[in-house]
């Protein structure tokens, strides 16, 4: 009985299963069916990507992190500051965000590769909190608590302006998220990805088969940080604003909840968790907020005690049972 | 010079308060290897019990403290037997998510029953104001805190070292399987220890209302500090928690007094440094 | 005969929709949940109080208020909600904005979609410069901090120690106070900025005690931090040492004042609204507030900001006869004057920001409760944050 239970063992391959194609057609269909909800859709995609980055280190490498928002925020501020200071080209902005967050991730990774779970939790938490304070202190650069405004974006590919209906933002976000998801998927379904799972399940055994554990962890941590930075950059560019809450602890904590609810160790779980969570929050935010917190708490307790692998886990179990019957 | 003494005094007091609230977490973490982020919720429960006892039952502040201890301890036993014990062998992630869920439920409950604002507390008059000791003005309440915590530490030490139960706890911390093999009722040890830890947290919560305030977001706000103390001190030891709490308290206060520009930053920085040097905590045993 | 009657009825029914009011929609974006839930509640009560006293119909149109919750200082959520209000719900006005990031993020939407935006609370000076369609009915921090500097210098306070929370509003308050105070001949002996989520004021208060100023100028987020500071202050005997506390009225916010207890007595603050303000407008407002929000505690400046914001919106609708055009709306708002529950207000035609009277008040106990009692004032204060 665990949130990470029963990840079915499949040898890595790169075949695209039909359900995956259906999944990626959904946003395209949504564009035509829900033209008034494009901004929400874009933000769901961004959070989905962000959740994937956490799943990479949590579900595959086993690092419990309460500080993933640090990299998201660094990416957001990098892209935002670039635009504020005159360079508003979107794609290169994202590249800069990835590099910035990747560097911070790389430097941080050395602190995270050793130590037990509690230590790593505290270190990631501490780093997130320190970066938050630093961003607040450097308010003359970041805008502090008031946020960074004046982010003016140029046209995407020189052709498409960011319009008020959110159309350009939507397609831009979808393309970027899809690309990065494909990369993440490739990483996970590769021998490297398999070694990560090995590290999560038996960190002491891996060196015995010659696998360099710290190096692998540093690698995946850096990649995850860089991707989180791109997610942050996307948010900065599509909302033309960077709030200090991009770095904050609530964002990291909420992300952890999303990944767990969606299903740890499954990339699609992270995306589905993000979608369900954000839609539910948007819908319920009008209702009594105390109930929201209460029910999320109960849901978490129930998922941990009884759920196997979150939404995706349950869905896969159901699918397996149906297939057995057929 | 008096300012150094003053800062030290304030730092030690702050550390003592952190210690009382965190000691339970340290022992249960060391004992059951359970990352319990909901520990602050027990402190909060103790705080609210104090408030209710003072406002609805009209009891004086000091009398409410034992009640807070008892209430949190009882709640601890109930939750431990009903929920926590199912997760002792679960992966740490599950424990983290479970305890976060518990925190959310606690916060929502507190908001529902008490509203989102701060709870006022009225201290008895002999605990207010300042007292002159050796030419330095020391807060009366803070002196009281230090005295109380010293007594608690002594009592805990005696409990662990001088009683049979304490020996059982120490054995279970070292190796639960072997202890069970020796005929020690490990389940009972877990339950009682958890109750004790939660009770102390509740006591700390009540003691802390005047210094740290009390509102429904208490468990989240101070969670960082408890975890800090336990992570830095090393789970499973009283000495570790005490030293870590006092070191962190003193450095936090000193940092804010002498170099307020870096304020909150410093304590996180210190934590990261200490954790790098001592990955298992200052006095930690598990590797 | 029947046919004629039926035909007449049919004509009437067809005509009714054309006759029926086109509703004017006002979209309110603010935090209604999370740590800033109180802001939204106050807005809601202020708006309802205004509509109770002034009806829900203006110039033959019904005014419909749509509420959207940001959940906290989340700029991306605020922007999304504003975009949805404009594109999906087709609102005519954007309003609310409890926190600065919300207002800053939505400014673009106001400009792009050409919708008038009325800020009910967010207090950073720069907000009104972000779009030509923004007007504000609350206050700005420099506007309320500078008068305190002037008043302190004129009233025998020579040396001041400033303590502010280390974030935008705190720094704004500190800067404006310092400028006005030193211009009046006072001396700021030292200053300290406390961390944003600071649980323990002891070391900072100790520093203040050691420096022995005449007064300490404080700015911390209202509520818990204010209470914690005052507790530390009185516990350490600073009041006995003769050190006064001067601050902006945020710290003695009407809604939390009673929770601060006796430790707040004697605090002198400058602010634009006190629930103890004696005027017929305020009495009417408070009465309506208590009727629409019976157990919500005391009304505070945020409710008044919303109340006056609705007043401005109603004026626009009235003057434009229900046909809302953003540029024309701003023309109406520029120079808009009213007598608010706080006192006289005007929207500056140049900056579209609020011009109002800032009162100097003291915390006193009247009956069972604590009130900010006004005893001095500075009239027609503009936002000094915009003056070079």
Domains of chain B: 2-277 (1.10.3470)
Compute the nearest-CA separation of C93 from chain B (Å). Answer: 31
Enclosing domain of residue A173: 13-290
**In a domain? residue A236:** yes
B101: CB partners within 8 A, 6+ apart: A296, A297, A298, A299, A300, A301, A304
Rounded to an integer, the average pLDDT of A103-112 is: 91
Least confident piece of the model among A176-190, B269-283, C321-335: B269-283
Asked if A145 reaches chain C (Cβ–Cβ under 8 Å), the answer is yes
Residues 185-244 of B with CB under 8 A from C: 210-213, 215, 217, 221-222
Q: What angle do CA A273, A278, A283 make, to 5 degrees?
A: 130
pTM metric for this prediction? 0.87
CA distance A262 to A271: 7
Subunits in contact with chain B (3 or more CB pairs closer than 8 Å): A, C
CA distance C235 to C230: 8
| B164-174 helix and B140-162 helix, angle to the nearest 10 degrees | 80
- Residues composing chain A: 326
Q: CA A89 to CA A158: how far, in whole Å?
A: 8
A301 by Cβ neighbours in 10 Å (0-12 / 13-18 / 19+) ranks as buried
Beta bridge partner(s), residue C119: C96, C136
User: Burial code of A149-182, b = ≥16 C-beta within 10 A, e = fewer?
Assistant: bbbebeebeeeeebebebbbbbbbbbebbeebbe
pLDDT in tens, C211-235: 899 999 999 887 778 888 888 888 7
Q: Six-digit token pair at C365?
A: 């106990």
Does residue B126 belong to the interface with chain A, where contact is any CB pair within 8 Å?
A: no
CB C87 within 8 Å of CB A164: yes
Residues of chain B with pLDDT under 70: 1-2, 134-136, 263, 285-287
C interface test, pick of B43, B104, B117, B127 with most C CB neighbours within 10 Å: B117
For chain C, say whether A190 makes contact (Cβ under 8 Å).
no
Tokens of A144: 């502090």
CB of C197 within 8 Å of any CB in chain B? yes
Q: What is the pLDDT of residues C274-303, one digit of tens each?
A: 999 999 999 999 999 999 988 878 899 999
Indicate the pairing of strand C343-347 with strand C354-366: antiparallel
Q: Which residue of B has its CA nearest to C211?
A: B3
C380: left (phi over 0), alpha (psi -120 to 50) or beta: left
Q: Output the CA torsion B108→B114→B115→B117 (10° steps).
A: -110
* Contact criterion met (CB < 8 Å) for B275 and A293: no
As a whole number of angstroms, the distance between CA A156 and CA C200 comes to: 49
Tell me what the pLDDT averaged over chain C comes to: 88
The helix-helix angle for B238-258 and B2-32 (nearest 10°) equals 140
Rounded CA separation C288/C50 (Å): 8
What is the torsion angle, in degrees rounded to the nearest 10, for the CA atoms of residue B224, residue B226, residue B229 and residue B230? -110
State phi, psi for C165 to the nearest 5 degrees: -75, 145
A317 located within any domain: no
Tokens of B273: 């440094």
Task: Report the C-alpha gap between A317 and C276 in whole angstroms.
Answer: 64
Q: Does A191 touch chain C (CB under 8 A)?
A: no
**Do residue A300 and residue B92 have CB atoms under 8 angstroms apart?**
no
Structure confidence at residue A220 (pLDDT): 92
What residues of A are in contact with residue B112 (Cβ under 8 Å)?
290, 294
Euclidean distance between CA atoms C268 and C161, whole angstroms = 15
Residue C191 gets which letter from DSSP? Answer: E
Q: Which of B95, B149, B142 is nearest to B123 (CA)?
A: B142
Domain annotation covers residue A234: yes
Reported as half-sphere exposure (CB side, CA atoms, 13 A), residue A195 has a value of 18
Q: Which residues on B lie below 8 Å from A301 (Cβ)? A: 83, 98, 101-102, 105
Q: Report CB contact under 8 Å: C33, A243.
A: no
Inter-chain CB proximity A241 and C73 less than 8 Å? no
Determine contact: C262 vs chain B, CB below 8 A. no
Is B34 in contact with B87 (CB distance < 8 Å)? Answer: yes
Question: How far does Cα A154 stand from its chain's mean position?
Answer: 26
Strand-pair category, B136-139 with C24-30 = unpaired
Alpha-carbon gap, residue B106 to B44, rounded angstroms: 9
pLDDT at C213: 93
In this complex, the residue of A133, A139, A240 whose CB is nearest that of residue C168 is: A139
Into how many domains does chain A fold? 1
Predicted confidence (pLDDT) per residue in C10-49, tens digit: 555 554 444 445 789 999 999 887 778 889 889 999 999 9
Q: Give the pLDDT of residue C291.
A: 93
Judge whether A166 lies within some domain.
yes
Read off the tokens for C304.
Answer: 């008044």
Report the residue of chain A nearest B231, measured CA to CA.
A119
pLDDT of residue A178: 94
Question: What is the tens place of the pLDDT at every residue in A120-138?
Answer: 888 888 889 889 888 888 8
For residue B287, the model assigns a pLDDT of: 39
Considering only alpha carbons, which residue of chain B is nearest residue C199?
B212
Return the residue matching tokens 């599509």: A238
Contact list, B90 vs chain A (CB under 8 Å): 1-2, 304
Q: What is the mean pLDDT of chain B?
A: 84
User: Which residues lie below 8 Å from residue A44, measured CB to CB, with a gap of 6+?
Assistant: A274, A275, A278, A279
**End-to-end CA gap in chain B:** 42
pLDDT confidence tier of residue C6, bands split at 50, 70 and 90 = low
pLDDT at C197 over 80: no
A121 φ, ψ to 5°? -60, -50
C122-153 residue pLDDT tens: 988 889 999 999 999 999 999 999 999 999 99
**CA-nearest residue of chain A to C114?**
A164
Query: Cβ contact (<8 Å) for A240 and C72?
Result: no
What would the pLDDT profile of A271-282 be if each residue is shown by its tens digit?
A: 999 999 998 888
- Which residue carries 């109406």 as its tokens? C332
**Of C193, C199, C227, which has the smallest distance from its Cβ to B118's Cβ?**
C227
Other CB atoms within a 10 A radius of the CB of residue C300 amount to 25
Report pLDDT for B34.
85
Residue A3 lies in a domain: no
CB contact under 8 A, C235 and B263: no
pLDDT higher than 60, residue C388:
no
Residue A273 lies in a domain: yes
Tokens for B284, please give them.
Answer: 């930690």
* Interval A53-84: pLDDT, tens: 999 999 888 888 989 999 999 999 999 999 99
Q: What's the pLDDT band for A211 if we cut at 50, 70, 90?
A: confident
CB contact under 8 A, B94 and A2: yes
Cα torsion A277, A283, A289, A295: sign: negative
Q: Which two tokens stand for residue A260?
A: 């767990």
Q: Which residue of C has its CA nearest to B119?
A: C259
Q: How far is C67 from chain A (nearest CA, A)?
A: 8
Contact list in A for residue B110 (CB cut-off 8 A) is none
User: Which of B31, B91, B93 is the mutation pick for testing A, counting most A CBs within 10 A?
Assistant: B93
Structural domain includes residue A8? no
B26: its two tokens: 């340290």
From the list B128, B222, B257, the residue facing C207 with the nearest CB is B257
CA-CA distance, C177 to C184, in Å (whole number)?
Answer: 11
Question: Across the interface, do C197 and B137 touch by the CB < 8 Å criterion?
Answer: no
Q: Which residue has the tokens 């209000």?
A: C85
- C-beta neighbour count of B230 within 10 angstroms: 32
Three-class secondary structure of residue C173 per DSSP: helix
Cβ contact C201:C235 at 8 Å: no
Whether A96 has a pLDDT exceeding 90, the answer reads yes
What residues in C contact A137, CB-CB < 8 Å? 166
Interchain pair C235, B129: CB under 8 A: yes
Asked whether residue C348 carries a pLDDT value surpassing 70, the answer given is yes
Neighbours of B261 (CB within 10 A): 12
For C210, the closest of B3, B139, B261 (CB atoms) is B3
For residue C86, list chain A residues with Cβ-Cβ distance below 8 A: 164
- Residues in C whose CB is inside 8 Å of some CB of A read 32-34, 37, 67, 69, 71-76, 79-80, 83-84, 86-88, 100-101, 104-105, 107-109, 112-113, 124, 126, 130, 166-169, 171, 195-196
| Neighbour count for residue C172 (Cβ, 10 Å) | 23
Task: Sort out which chain A residues have CB atoms less than 8 A from B264's CB and list them.
Answer: 129, 133
B253/C202 CB distance under 8 A: yes
CA C366 to chain centre: 25
Taking the Cβ of residue B58 and every Cβ of chain A, the question of whether any pair is shorter than 8 Å is answered with: no
Q: Do C87 and A165 touch (CB under 8 A)?
A: yes
| Domain harbouring A44, CATH code | 1.10.3470
C270 versus B6: the higher-pLDDT residue is: C270
Of C74, C87, C166, the CB nearest to A243: C74
Any B CB within 8 A of C256 CB? yes
* Chain C residues close to A241, C-beta within 8 Å: 75-76, 79, 101, 104-105, 108
Are A71 and A104 within 8 A, CB to CB? yes
Query: Is residue A153 a part of any domain in this protein?
Result: yes
H-only helix segments in C262-334: 280-292, 301-319, 326-333
ipTM computed for the complex: 0.86
B80 Cβ under 8 Å from any chain C Cβ: no
Burial class (CB in 10 A: 0-12, 13-18, 19+), C9: exposed
Residue B44 contacts C, CB cutoff 8 Å = no
How many other β-carbons are positioned within 10 Å of the β-carbon of residue A92?
13
Q: Kind and range of the H or E element at C225?
A: helix C224-235
- Percent of chain A scoring above 70 in pLDDT: 93
d(CA B14, CA B10): 6
Which chain A residues touch C105 with a CB distance below 8 Å? 147, 149, 239-241, 243
């Amino acid at each position: 009985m665990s949130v990470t239970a029963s990840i079915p063992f499949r040898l890595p391959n790169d075949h695209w299963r039909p359900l995956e194609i259906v999944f990626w057609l959904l946003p395209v269909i949504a564009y035509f069916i829900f033209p008034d909800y494009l901004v929400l859709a874009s933000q769901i995609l961004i959070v989905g990507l962000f959740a994937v980055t956490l799943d990479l280190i949590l579900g595959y490498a086993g690092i419990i992190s309460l500080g993933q928002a640090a990299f998201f925020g660094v990416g957001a501020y990098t892209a935002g500051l670039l635009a504020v200071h005159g360079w508003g080209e979107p794609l290169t902005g994202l590249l800069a965000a990835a590099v910035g967050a990747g560097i911070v991730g790389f430097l941080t990774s050395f602190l995270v590769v050793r130590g037990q779970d509690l230590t790593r939790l505290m270190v990631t938490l501490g780093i997130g909190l320190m970066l938050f304070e630093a961003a607040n202190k450097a308010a003359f650069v970041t805008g502090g608590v008031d946020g960074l405004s004046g982010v003016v974006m140029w046209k995407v590919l020189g052709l498409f302006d960011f319009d008020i209906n959110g159309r350009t933002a939507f397609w831009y976000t979808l393309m970027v998220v899809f690309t990065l998801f494909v990369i993440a998927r490739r990483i996970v379904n590769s021998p490297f990805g398999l070694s990560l799972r090995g590290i999560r399940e038996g960190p002491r055994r891996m060196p015995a088969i010659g696998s360099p554990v710290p190096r692998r962890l540093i690698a995946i941590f850096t990649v995850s940080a860089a991707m989180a930075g791109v997610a942050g950059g996307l948010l900065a560019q599509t909302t033309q604003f960077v709030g200090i809450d991009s770095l904050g602890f609530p964002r990291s904590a909420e992300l952890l909840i999303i990944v767990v609810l969606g299903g740890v160790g499954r990339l699609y779980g992270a995306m589905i968790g993000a979608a369900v969570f954000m839609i539910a929050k948007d819908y319920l935010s009008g209702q009594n907020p105390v109930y929201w917190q209460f029910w999320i708490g109960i849901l978490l307790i129930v998922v941990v005690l009884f759920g196997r692998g979150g939404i995706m886990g349950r869905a896969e179990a159901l699918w397996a049972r149906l297939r057995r019957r057929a | 010079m008096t300012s150094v003494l003053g800062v030290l005094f304030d730092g030690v007091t702050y550390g003592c308060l952190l210690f009382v609230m965190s000691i339970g977490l340290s022992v249960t973490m060391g004992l059951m290897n359970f990352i319990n982020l909901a520990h602050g919720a027990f402190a909060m429960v103790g705080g609210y019990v104090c408030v209710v006892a003072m406002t609805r039952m009209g009891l004086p502040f000091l009398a409410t403290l034992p009640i807070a201890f008892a209430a949190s301890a009882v709640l601890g036993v109930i939750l431990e037997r009903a929920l926590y014990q199912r997760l002792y062998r679960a992966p740490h992630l599950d424990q983290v998510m479970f305890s976060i869920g518990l925190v959310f439920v606690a916060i929502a409950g507190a908001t529902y029953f008490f509203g989102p604002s701060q709870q006022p507390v009225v201290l008895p008059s002999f605990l207010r104001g300042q007292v002159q000791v050796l030419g330095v003005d020391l807060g009366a309440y803070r002196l009281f805190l230090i005295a109380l915590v010293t007594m608690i530490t002594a009592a805990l030490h005696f409990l662990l070292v001088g009683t049979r139960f304490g020996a059982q706890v120490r054995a279970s911390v070292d190796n639960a399987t072997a202890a069970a093999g020796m005929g020690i009722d490990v389940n009972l040890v877990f339950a009682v220890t958890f109750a004790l830890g939660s009770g102390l947290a509740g006591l700390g919560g009540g003691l802390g209302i005047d210094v740290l305030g009390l509102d429904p977001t208490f468990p989240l706000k101070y969670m960082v500090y408890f975890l800090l103390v336990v992570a830095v001190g090393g789970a499973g030891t009283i000495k570790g928690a005490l030293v870590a709490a006092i070191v962190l308290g003193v450095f936090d206060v000193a940092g804010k007094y002498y170099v307020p520009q870096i304020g909150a930053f410093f304590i996180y920085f210190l934590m990261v440094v200490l954790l790098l040097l001592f990955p298992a905590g200052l006095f930690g045993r598990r590797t | 005969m029947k046919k004629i009657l039926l035909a007449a009825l049919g004509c009437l029914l067809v005509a009714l929709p054309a006759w029926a009011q086109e509703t004017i929609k006002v979209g309110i974006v603010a935090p209604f949940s999370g740590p800033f839930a109180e802001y939204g509640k106050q807005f809601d009560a202020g708006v309802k109080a205004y509509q109770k006293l002034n009806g829900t119909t203006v110039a033959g149109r019904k005014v419909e208020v749509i509420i959207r919750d940001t959940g906290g200082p989340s700029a991306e959520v605020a922007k999304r909600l504003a975009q949805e209000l404009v594109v999906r719900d087709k609102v005519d006005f954007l309003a609310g904005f409890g926190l600065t990031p919300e207002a800053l993020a939505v400014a673009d939407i106001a400009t792009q979609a050409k919708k008038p935006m009325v800020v009910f609370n967010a207090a950073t000076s720069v907000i009104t410069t972000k779009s030509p369609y923004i007007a504000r009915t609350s206050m700005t921090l420099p506007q309320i901090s500078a008068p305190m500097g002037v008043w302190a210098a004129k009233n025998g306070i020579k040396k001041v120690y400033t303590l502010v929370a280390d974030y935008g509003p705190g720094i704004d308050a500190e800067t404006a106070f310092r400028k006005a105070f030193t211009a009046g001949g006072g001396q700021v002996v030292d200053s300290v900025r406390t961390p944003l989520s600071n649980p323990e004021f002891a070391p900072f208060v100790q520093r203040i005690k050691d420096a022995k100023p005449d007064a300490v100028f404080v700015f911390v987020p209202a509520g818990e931090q204010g209470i914690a500071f005052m507790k530390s202050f009185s516990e350490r005997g600073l009041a006995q040492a003769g050190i006064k506390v001067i601050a902006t009225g945020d710290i003695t916010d009407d809604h939390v004042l009673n929770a601060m207890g006796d430790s707040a007595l004697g605090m002198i603050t400058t602010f634009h609204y006190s629930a103890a303000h004696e005027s017929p407008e305020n009495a009417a407002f408070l009465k309506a507030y208590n009727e629409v929000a019976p157990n919500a505690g005391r009304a505070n400046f945020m409710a008044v900001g919303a109340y006056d914001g609705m007043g401005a919106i109603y004026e626009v609708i009235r003057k434009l006869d229900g046909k809302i055009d953003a540029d024309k709306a701003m023309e109406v708002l520029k120079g808009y004057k009213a007598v608010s529950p706080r006192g006289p207000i005007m929207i500056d035609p140049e900056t579209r920001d609020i011009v109002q009277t800032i009162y100097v008040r003291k915390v006193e106990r009247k009956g069972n409760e604590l009130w900010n009692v006004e005893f001095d004032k500075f009239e027609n204060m503009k936002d000094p944050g915009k003056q070079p």
